Chains A and B, each alone.
Chain A
Amino acid sequence: MTDTRQIQEEIIDEFSILGDDKESTIYYIMEIGNKLPSFPEDERTEENIIKGCQSKVWLTTRFENNRVIYLADSNTDITKGLISLLIRVLSGRTPQEILDTELYFINKIGMSTIIGSQRSNGLVAMIKQMKLFALAYQAKLNV
């Protein structure tokens, strides 16, 4: 499996092709959001909603073979697109790998200008929650 840095570089490349055209960038984000795997309906609960996001975001995980699988969904396609980028980088990795990953691609692709500062706060909340899951699994492994 490629490391998180390589995947982030891939994303940066994809966004650089789109250039400064905000319209195409947003369309692209929505497009990848639409490809997000479907979220288990029985886990679409209040508890799985991430606090601090403007739109609704549900996040849940599986822990298989010492790897964290993230499943997420949102009621808006743009948010789904953002989630799918995070999942692409972090999902299927060991808790330690996730905790060690610095998500530098977000700044590199100019995410805050794309989605605005309010949404950026939501993105931060999302990342925090993903890392918290990793931390919890890591703690479990160490017991």
Chain B
Amino acid sequence: MALDLHHIRSLFPVLHQEVNGKPLVYLDNAATTQKPQSVMDSLTRYYELDNANIHRGAHTLAARATEYYEKTRLMVQEFINSREPEEIIFTKGTTEGINLVASTFGRKFIHKGDEIIISTLEHHSNIVPWQMLCEESGAVLKIIPINDKGDIRLDEFDKLLSSKTKLVSIVHVSNALGTVNPVEYIIEKAHAVGAKVLLDGAQSSSHLKIDVQKLDCDFFAFSAHKIYGPTGLGVLFGKREVLESMPPYMGGGEMIKEVTFEKTTYNDIPFKFEAGTPNIADVIAFQKALEFVNDLGKSQMVVHENELLSYATEKLSSIKGFIPVGEAREKVSILSFLINGMHPFDVGVMLDAGGIAVRTGHHCAQPLMNRFNIEGTVRASFSVYNTEEEVDRLYDSVSKIAKIKNK
């Protein structure tokens, strides 16, 4: 059954407005998705009726807030199919998840001469934490190259792997190109040499069905705000045995069992990694975002998003001066491109003048842009609430803009 787009769009108030005198076309979903009304209602409701600090209060509100907060953990467990809810740690976002692993797993298990493998496709948040760790520990960062289409070079990956490899930290879906990486292969190979694998799921979590048990990854980090949820909230999944072997991230309340001035014993997972009062309201509201996705069904959503991507790619490719960037074998939701003779920023500003929101620039992936010898791209990224008519609007505007320099 096809999705009822009219109904879906009615759940997102922000979509129904004019920008620069034109109906808004929101195609910056890879940066952040819009939020359904239910998420916003949940936030308001929490503050109106349930607000209390969690896990320790003896009173009713505290018990209620704790129950709702922990319910999200169960829903997330189901969402990514982890074995246990204790393997779900709430963070500020994907970036914090990766930094958490670098600071704890990294500091404990990665030493001088050890190697960490990432790829050319990475977002800065999956580059810089490892550079920092390498600088501190004397470990070495190795980079899997990509081909001109934007696919990872598995032959090169095989060559980089060795007994020195302690961690492979790789993006599941590229935020700049939309490339879906063959992570099953990477995980299997990495495990064969005894390395752990972290998947940056910031993009994949909203488009692909995630099963961390089937994937067998050791870590999986993602952000709520890219899956219709609130900003400032993310999830780090880690396998129980790996999380238990890691030292805590931040010290403070919640993460302890017992504190004396002589010695502190740490709480069990996941609380060991959730020091301080967490982002309770947003965690609770995230349930509504997950419900939204579950109700529609991810497989249905992906079909629609892929249709939009193919439609857009085909249509825009007919424009004189249109240059696609990233034509990987398997892609989701993201169309990165350039217009011959024009700076991506100018294209972005002109699209905005026509009410169309896209992202322009290096997409926090400067090494990737350097690989293609470009400063940046224009990126249109699709979500479940986007329509073919909106792709037509994009096409019309890009055609008009491209004509300036491509007569």
How distant is the Cα of A103 from the Cα of B155 in the complex, in angstroms?
59
* Partner-contacting stretch, out of A4-12, A36-44, A73-81: A73-81
Q: Does B20 reach chain A (CB closer than 8 Å)? A: yes
Among the listed A20, A27, A55, A75, which residue makes an inter-chain contact with B350, where contact means beta carbons less than 8 Å apart? A27
Q: Is the CB of A77 within 8 A of B353?
A: no
Q: Is the CB of A76 within 8 A of B353?
A: no
- Tell me which residues across on chain A come within 8 A of B342, comparing CB atoms: 77
Q: Is the CB of B343 within 8 A of A55?
A: yes
**CB-CB contacts below 8 Å: B295-351 with A:** 342-343, 345-346, 349-350
Q: Is the CB of B354 within 8 A of A77?
A: no
| In the complex, residue of chain A having the shortest beta-carbon distance to the beta carbon of B22 | A23
Q: Does B375 reach chain A (CB closer than 8 Å)? A: yes
**Min distance, Cβ B220 to any Cβ of chain A, angstroms:** 33
How distant is the Cα of A110 from the Cα of B346 in the complex, in angstroms?
18
Majority SS of interface residues in chain A? helix
Q: How many residues of B contact A (CB 8 A)?
A: 12
Asked whether A26 and B350 contact (CB < 8 A) given A20-B21, A21-B21, A75-B375, the answer is: yes
Among the listed B21, B343, B346, B375, which residue makes an inter-chain contact with A22, where contact means beta carbons less than 8 Å apart? B21
**CB-CB contacts below 8 Å: B336-387 with A:** 342-343, 345-346, 349-350, 353-354, 375
How distant is the Cα of A76 from the Cα of B365 in the complex, in angstroms?
20
How distant is the Cα of A77 from the Cα of B343 in the complex, in angstroms?
7
**Min distance, Cβ A123 to any Cβ of chain B, angstroms:** 14
Which among B349, B353, B375, B404 has the greatest number of chain A C-beta atoms within 10 A?
A: B349
Q: Is the CB of A76 within 8 A of B20?
A: no
- Tell me which residues across on chain A come within 8 A of B354, comparing CB atoms: 23
How distant is the Cα of A57 from the Cα of B354 in the complex, in angstroms?
26
**Min distance, Cβ B276 to any Cβ of chain A, angstroms:** 32
How distant is the Cα of A23 from the Cα of B342 in the complex, in angstroms?
16
Q: Does A115 reach chain B (CB closer than 8 Å)? A: yes
Asked whether A22 and B345 contact (CB < 8 A) given A30-B404, A75-B375, the answer is: no
How distant is the Cα of A30 from the Cα of B339 in the complex, in angstroms?
15
Among the listed A21, A23, A78, which residue makes an inter-chain contact with B346, where contact means beta carbons less than 8 Å apart? A78
Q: Does A66 reach chain B (CB closer than 8 Å)? A: no
Q: Does A54 reach chain B (CB closer than 8 Å)? A: yes
- Tell me which residues across on chain A come within 8 A of B20, comparing CB atoms: 22-23
Q: Is the CB of A78 within 8 A of B353?
A: no
- Tell me which residues across on chain A come within 8 A of B349, comparing CB atoms: 26, 78, 115
- Tell me which residues across on chain A come within 8 A of B21, comparing CB atoms: 20-22
How distant is the Cα of A115 from the Cα of B353 in the complex, in angstroms?
10
How distant is the Cα of A27 from the Cα of B400 in the complex, in angstroms?
11
**CB-CB contacts below 8 Å: A48-87 with B:** 54-55, 75-78
Q: Is the CB of A78 within 8 A of B404?
A: no
**Min distance, Cβ A126 to any Cβ of chain B, angstroms:** 16
How distant is the Cα of A77 from the Cα of B20 in the complex, in angstroms?
20
- Tell me which residues across on chain B come within 8 A of A26, comparing CB atoms: 349-350, 353
How distant is the Cα of A25 from the Cα of B342 in the complex, in angstroms?
17
| In the complex, residue of chain B having the shortest beta-carbon distance to the beta carbon of A77 | B346
How distant is the Cα of A115 from the Cα of B349 in the complex, in angstroms?
8
**Min distance, Cβ B399 to any Cβ of chain A, angstroms:** 14
**Min distance, Cβ B393 to any Cβ of chain A, angstroms:** 13
How distant is the Cα of A90 from the Cα of B85 in the complex, in angstroms?
65
Interface string of B129-162 (1 = CB under 8 A from A): 0000000000000000000000000000000000
Which among A20, A26, A78 has the greatest number of chain B C-beta atoms within 10 A?
A: A26
Interface string of A100-140 (1 = CB under 8 A from B): 00000000000000010000000000000000000000000
Q: Can you list 27 A-B pairs, Cβ within 8 angstroms, ordered by A?
A: A20-B21, A21-B21, A22-B20, A22-B21, A22-B353, A23-B350, A23-B353, A23-B354, A25-B353, A26-B349, A26-B350, A26-B353, A27-B350, A30-B346, A30-B350, A30-B404, A54-B345, A55-B343, A55-B345, A75-B375, A76-B343, A76-B345, A76-B346, A77-B342, A77-B346, A78-B345, A78-B346
